[in-house]
Amino acid sequence: MTETHLVIGAGAVGSALASQLAEAGKNVVLFTRSGRGPEHKLITRVAGDASSIEELVDSAPKAVAIYNCANPPHYDKWATEWPPLAKAFLEYAEATGAVLVTCSNLYGYGPTEKKLTEDLPLNGTWVNSRVRAQMWRDAKKLNDDGVIRATEVRGSDYLSPGLQSRFGDRVVPVVKAGKSVQLLGETDHLHTFTAPADVATLMRTIALDKRAWGKAWHVPSNPPKTQREVVQDIAKELGLGEAKVGSVPQAVLGLMGLFNPTIRELNNGRYMFNASFVMDDSAARKMFDREPTPWATIIKNLVAAYETRSAAQ
């Protein structure tokens, strides 16, 4: 019998993961709030409440792995929206024996001047960073106690279409229109960027590999770039000259944060762009023999997504 994989969430990572698994011949149950997601004969799309262990078990009574690619709807309400989801995923892993593979980020480390490695302490100082750190602590404890098997992958900021990426809807159409781009944070500090497809690839690679369990792994990513360099690479791919790049003044963001809770929470993570923020991914590269998608391909695919959208309109 073909094994079943339960994927929670159909954002950039969840959709890529579901497609990769299906193309590899695996049965996939894609569980989301909306029931939307990529179409494939091996993907069964289910709409439901992912915080309900009953609904998860009903959708996939016996999956070999559950992949947490969820994204709570309110960025400023992670403290209340994440815990019920995380609890359900732990319960599902315990009830079914599925390996829990979580898609996470670098928030948990908090501000640091060090290069980011998986063994850094999780000293996050703001709400969203503490939430993500605690999710891993809870999963790792149950893994180490032999209750479940769990692993986590951590990527840096995504380069992808849409609003979740700093260089998606907020940048590509603006550059294409010849307008000045206004970025959040400093524009000239080195920063690691990650392709969602590479997150998905690492998740499916390590899910059933016992060497990965009980540990967190950084997603193989390209050498760091500054935000300014990324914008210029996008402009070049669009066949344009040098783009105008600026930064939204911190005072303006602070004022906006007084009235917009999402901006206020984003401001808490501004340290990631106000200094160099570089991730070491050597452990996953070495252990699982993985390399990132070439940078030129990532930029080409990013721009192509908007060219296709324009053509359709």
**Is 111 among the domain residues?**
yes
Task: Give buried/exposed letters for 60-71 (b at 16+ CB in 10 A, else e).
Answer: beebbbbbbbbb
| Complete DSSP assignment for 85-96 | HHHHHHHHHHHH
pLDDT on residue 268: 86
Whether residue 164 has pLDDT greater than 80: no
Q: Which residue has the higher pLDDT, 249 or 161?
A: 161
Mean pLDDT of 115-138: 96
Asked whether residue 105 carries a pLDDT value surpassing 70, the answer given is yes
Q: Is residue 139 part of a domain?
A: yes
Query: How many other C-beta atoms are found inside a 10 Å radius of the C-beta of residue 177?
Result: 7
Q: pLDDT at position 262, please?
A: 81
Domain presence at residue 311:
no
- Strand, helix or coil for residue 158: strand
- Could you identify the residue written with the tokens 């999402």? 262
Residue 63: predicted pLDDT: 98
Dihedral sign for Cα atoms in the order 258, 261, 263, 269: positive
Residue 160 has pLDDT above 60, yes or no: yes
Q: How many CA atoms lie within 13 A of 87 on its CB side?
A: 10
Assess whether pLDDT exceeds 60 at residue 135. Answer: yes
Q: How many domains does the chain have?
A: 1
Over 60: is that where the pLDDT of 125 sits? yes
| pLDDT for residue 313 is more than 60 | no
What whole-number distance in Å separates Cα of residue 221 and Cα of residue 193?
Answer: 7
What is the pLDDT, as a whole number, of residue 83?
98
**pLDDT one-digit tens code per residue, 240-294:** 999 999 988 888 888 887 878 888 888 888 899 999 999 999 999 999 999 999 9
The pLDDT score that the predictor gives to residue 136 is 98
Could you tell me the CA-to-CA distances from 151 to 139, 284, 310 in Å, in that order?
8, 12, 39
Neighbouring C-beta atoms of residue 56, cutoff 10 Å:
28
Q: Assess if residue 11 is contained within a domain.
A: yes
* Contacting residues for 121 by C-beta, under 8 A, at least 6 apart: 109
CA atoms of 90 and 93, how far apart (whole Å): 5
Residue written as tokens 């602070």? 254
**15 domain-assigned:** yes
Asked if residue 61 is part of any domain, the answer here is yes
Residue 164 belongs to some domain of the structure: no
Average pLDDT over residues 114-137: 96
Q: DSSP assignment of 13-51, as one string?
A: HHHHHHHHHHHTT-EEEEEESS------TTEEEEES-TT
Amino acid at 217: W
Residue range 154-173: average pLDDT? 90
Asked whether the predicted pLDDT for residue 311 surpasses 80, the reply is no
> Is 162 among the domain residues?
no
At residue 192, φ and ψ (nearest 5 deg) are: -80, 135
Summarised one tens digit per residue, pLDDT across range 58-103 is 999 999 999 999 999 999 999 999 999 999 999 999 999 999 999 9
287 lies in which domain range?
Answer: 4-156+195-221+279-292
The better pLDDT of the pair 251, 10 is held by: 10
CATH number of the domain that 80 lies in?
Answer: 3.40.50.720
Is-contact 288 222, C-beta < 8 A? Answer: no
